[in-house]
């Protein structure tokens, strides 16, 4: 820690302290975390009731069944999973349980999402064979869908092919095919299937593909040669082809044999089809009382290859356990029915959420906040780090601090318990581990349905819980045996406590909430100082300005839930003034003038982000023009996708390119005005935004 940061932290603490400080006895330093007496924000009796009722073991039992299903979007397997969740929700006392039937037909538009066709795989086997004239003799079964469905790439089509195998390396460029005859053969490759298909299948005439493409690369991805990784073909392509996914051990064995001059013949059999079908998201409700038309949402995504345990049977089973627990505590009279309703949603990832938003706009309009769970149960073997993430800078909200407060509480309680220092709320399952949670209380992160909720068309604040990295994500080893019931129970507590606080929040809760927000703002301020110290002066000034603006806006967002007491508002006004002074804030406005740029507004007829799932609305509507440079830009804390997402979110009819640039630069690191302006013009060309002087 630098001297300046240490001094700033001291000044911040003094600025936040009461005017009169009595003499205190300073406790000696000790190792280990002491247990807090009670959870923040909610009544202690509510926290105790949740801790006593929540069951990570019950959640894991539901997870174990879900993992037996190959639950692709709009498929028979997904429908079976949806029906199971609906039955359990009804059994647990949730109301208004519904399994939707919404077209997955390849052409219906749901905002910026084009519906994909359903995909049902029924059978797939890959054999190495010997041929003698017209006679074919099986040698070794290389892959079986019945054993491990991940061996068949998503959106593969039916085929029955016996052909020679040819190694084409990565498979994504013409040079990979130079001097090789692949027509009528099967190709072995290591690159993305969507890149290779246009060359291997369309241009050079191969019949199908075998791949060990590394999906979701982490530090461990090369360590287990038996992992088979999930592959994807393009659902919208007219071509009919297939791909088998191999482990690196299998693929490298074939490569070595081919390099040695051996001829290898394979027999591929696939029975699968893309076809018009129905999306089947599931919703259920715990109705509220006086504010029942406002809803707090718990969300996940139900689709995945079998087994798909952490991704994402874990989130689905956990929100189901939250529903069971809250419904039972209400029925038993241990907690009161909440003021706002609590909605539960089990969609297919991203696209079904988008479908539901557009098919049920009245329901979506009732959503006030979402608690989204996507991968929340990974045991230590997965190498996962648990995160409690907030909303993006474009949506400043107090809800972030609610999720972080409960995450910090479970961190402290579980660490104290593990260290032998007590822990009133250890939240330990009898079938699970005892190690501390050690959740990272993080900023906004893209990657799941949370980014739809917080998108600028909808602006629904999000608490997003996830494990990352996970060494087994999207592989055949993402199994129920790697799931820790204790972790499921702790994620459920954070979700349930956050939901109940938000569902019951009223004006009398604001002072306690302000204490939580003030503490969190102090911690963020230290990070602002540290990051600003690495920036050029003008960028540092912009970062400080945007940070204070975001803090103030997050406080003001309380008014969307409850009236802010006059005394609390006065205290906050004074606090933020001192906070700005303490971090060295000197600039009053963002960088540069805005009068040279048009103001950009959203086109209300086009709702949603540029990319949803498998469909890129922006690129499709640029009609062949080159993708904007921002998409390939990488900043200090964000990728091109992060910048692009937030540039569109900041469009509100009142901002020009410079102001938008300043905000995304504060969030993800400095980016040029030229890249942002080019991207805004591309959005305008695609009809997603309009501009006016």
Q: What's the pLDDT score for residue 583? A: 84
What confidence tens digit (pLDDT) does each residue in 512-567 have? 999 999 999 999 999 999 999 999 999 999 999 999 999 999 999 999 999 999 99
Is pLDDT larger for residue 214 or for residue 358?
358
Instruction: Quote the CA–CA distance of 494 and 497 in Å, as a whole number.
Output: 5
Provide the 3-class DSSP secondary structure of residue 550.
helix
> What pLDDT score was predicted for residue 13?
44
Give the separation between CA 533 and CA 17, rounded to whole angstroms: 26
Three-state helix/strand/coil letters over 600-624: EEECCCCCCCCECCCCEHHHHHCCC
pLDDT for 420-446, tens place per residue?
Answer: 988 889 999 999 999 999 999 999 999
DSSP calls for 231-296: -B--TT------EEE-BHHHHHHHHHHHHTT---EEEEEEEEEEE-EEE--EEEEE--STEEEEEE
3-state percent helix, strand, coil for the chain, nearest multiple of 5? 40, 20, 40
The helices-and-strands tally (H runs, E runs) of the chain is 19, 22
Domain ranges in the chain are: 44-115+279-504, 118-275, 599-692
The predicted model gives 566-593 an average pLDDT of 79
Query: Which one has a higher pLDDT value, 118 or 590?
Result: 118
The structure tokens listed for 655 are: 């901002």
Given a cut of 80, whether residue 405 has pLDDT beyond it is: yes
Question: Residue 304: helix, strand or coil by DSSP?
Answer: strand
| H or E stretch covering 636 | none
Q: pLDDT at position 154, please?
A: 97
When pLDDT is cut at 50, 70 and 90, the band that residue 692 belongs to is confident
Question: Residue 272: pLDDT band by 50, 70, 90 thresholds?
Answer: very high
- % pLDDT > 90, the chain: 88
pLDDT higher for 99 or 611?
A: 99
Q: What residues contact 686, with CB distance under 8 A and at least 6 apart? A: 610, 617, 618, 621, 622
Q: What is the mean pLDDT of residues 605-620?
A: 92
Average per-residue pLDDT in the chain?
Answer: 92
Q: How many angstroms separate the Cα of 8 from the Cα of each of 13, 126, 218, 296, 524?
A: 9, 64, 36, 37, 12
Strands (E), 543-680: 599-602, 655-656
Asked if the model's pLDDT at residue 25 lies above 50, the reply is no
82: three-class secondary structure by DSSP = helix
The two three-digit tokens of residue 58, written as one number = 């019950």
44-115+279-504: what fold? Answer: Aminopeptidase (3.40.630)
Distance CA(90)–CA(98), nearest Å, equals: 10
Tokens standing for residue 225 = 């040669």
Quick one: average pLDDT of 588-605?
Answer: 71
319 CA to centre of own chain:
15
What pLDDT is attached to residue 338?
98
185, 266 in Cβ contact below 8 A? no
Cβ atoms within 10 Å of 292's Cβ, excluding its own: 17
What per-residue confidence (pLDDT) applies to 422?
82
Two tokens, residue 158:
């039916």
pLDDT of 51:
97
CA dihedral 369, 371, 374, 379 (to 10 degrees): 160
- Kindly state the DSSP code that residue 395 receives in the 8-state scheme: S
Confidence of residue 16 (pLDDT cuts 50, 70, 90): very low
Q: Alpha-carbon distance 5 to 391, whole Å? A: 26
Q: Are 590 and 546 in contact (CB under 8 A)?
A: yes
Distance, CA of 465 to CA of 447 (rounded, Å): 11
Q: Which of 514, 389, 509 is nearest to 453 (CA)?
A: 389
- Report whether 325 contacts 492 (CB < 8 A): yes
| pLDDT score of 597 more than 90 | no
Q: In a 3-state reduction of DSSP, which class is residue 382?
A: helix
The CATH architecture assigned to 118-275 reads 3-Layer(bba) Sandwich (3.50)
**Model pLDDT, residue 218:** 87
Peptide bond into 307 cis (omega under 30): yes
Q: pLDDT tens-digit profile of 130-164?
A: 988 778 899 999 999 999 999 999 999 999 999 99
Q: Is the pLDDT of residue 190 over 80?
A: yes
The DSSP secondary-structure symbol of 505 reads: -
- Residues 639, 642, 644, CA angle at the centre, nearest 5°? 110
């Amino acid at each position: 820690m630098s001297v300046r940061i240490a001094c700033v932290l001291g000044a911040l603490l003094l600025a936040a302290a009461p005017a009169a400080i009595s003499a205190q006895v300073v406790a000696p330093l000790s190792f280990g975390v002491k247990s807090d007496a009670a959870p923040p924000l909610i009544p202690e009796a509510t926290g105790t009731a949740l801790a006593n009722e929540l069951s990570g073991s019950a959640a894991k039992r539901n997870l174990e069944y879900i993992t037996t299903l190959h639950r692709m979007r709009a498929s028979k397997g997904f429908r079976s999973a949806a029906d199971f969740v609906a039955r359990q929700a009804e059994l647990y006392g949730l109301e208004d349980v519904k399994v939707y039937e919404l077209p997955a037909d390849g052409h219906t538009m749901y905002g910026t999402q084009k519906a994909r066709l359903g995909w049902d795989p029924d059978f797939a086997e890959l054999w190495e064979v010997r041929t003698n004239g017209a006679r074919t003799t099986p040698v070794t079964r290389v892959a079986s869908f019945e054993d491990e469905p991940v061996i068949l790439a998503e959106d593969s089509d039916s085929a029955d092919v016996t052909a020679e195998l040819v190694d084409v390396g990565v498979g994504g460029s013409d040079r990979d095919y130079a001097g090789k005859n692949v027509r009528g053969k099967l190709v072995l490759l290591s690159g993305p299937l969507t890149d290779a298909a246009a060359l291997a299948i369309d241009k050079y005439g191969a019949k199908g593909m075998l791949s060990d493409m590394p999906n979701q690369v982490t530090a461990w991805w090369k360590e287990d040669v038996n992992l088979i990784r999930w592959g994807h073909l393009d659902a919208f392509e007219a071509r009919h082809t297939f791909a088998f996914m191999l482990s690196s051990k299998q693929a490298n064995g074939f490569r070595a044999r081919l390099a040695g001059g051996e001829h290898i013949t394979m027999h591929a059999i696939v029975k699968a089809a893309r076809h018009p079908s129905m999306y089947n998201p599931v919703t259920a409700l715990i109705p509220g009382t006086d504010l029942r038309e406002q809803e707090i949402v718990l969300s996940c995504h139900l689709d995945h290859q079998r087994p798909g345990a952490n991704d994402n049977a874990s989130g689905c089973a956990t929100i189901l356990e939250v529903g069971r627990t809250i419904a039972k505590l209400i029925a038993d009279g241990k907690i009161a029915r909440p003021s706002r309703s609590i909605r539960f949603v089990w969609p297919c990832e991203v696209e079904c959420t988008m479908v539901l938003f557009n098919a049920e706009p009245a329901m979506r309009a009732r959503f006030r906040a979402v608690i989204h769970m996507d991968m929340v149960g990974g045991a230590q073997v997965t190498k996962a780090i648990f995160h409690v993430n907030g909303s993006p800078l474009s949506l400043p909200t107090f809800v972030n601090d609610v999720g972080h407060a409960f995450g910090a509480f479970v961190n402290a309680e579980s660490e104290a318990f593990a260290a032998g220092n007590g822990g009133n709320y250890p939240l330990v399952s009898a079938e699970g581990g005892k190690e501390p949670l050690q959740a990272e209380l993080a900023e906004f992160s893209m990657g799941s349905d949370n980014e739809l909720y917080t998108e600028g068309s909808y602006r629904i604040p999000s608490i997003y819980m996830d494990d990352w990295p996970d060494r087994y994500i999207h592989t055949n080893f993402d199994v129920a045996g790697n799931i820790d019931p204790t972790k499921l129970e702790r994620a459920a507590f954070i979700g349930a406590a956050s939901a109940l606080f938000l569902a019951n929040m009223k004006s009398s809760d604001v002072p306690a909430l302000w204490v939580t927000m003030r503490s969190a703002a102090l911690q963020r301020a230290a990070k602002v100082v540290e990051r600003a110290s690495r920036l050029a002066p003008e960028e540092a000034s912009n970062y400080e300005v945007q940070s204070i603006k975001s803090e103030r806006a997050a406080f003001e967002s309380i008014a969307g839930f409850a009236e802010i007491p006059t005394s609390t508002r006065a205290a906050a006004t004074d606090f933020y003034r001192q906070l700005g002074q303490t971090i060295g804030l000197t600039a009053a406005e963002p960088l540069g003038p805005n009068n040279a740029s048009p103001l950009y507004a959203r086109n209300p007829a086009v709702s949603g982000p540029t990319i949803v799932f498998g469909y890129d609305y922006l690129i499709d509507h640029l009609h062949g023009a080159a993708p904007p440079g921002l998409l390939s830009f990488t900043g200090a804390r964000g990728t091109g996708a992060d910048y692009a997402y937030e540039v569109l979110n900041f469009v509100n009819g009142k901002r020009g390119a410079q102001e938008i640039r300043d905000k995304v630069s504060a969030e993800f690191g400095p980016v040029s005005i030229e890249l942002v302006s080019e991207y805004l013009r591309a959005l305008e060309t695609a009809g997603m935004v309009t501009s006016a002087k």
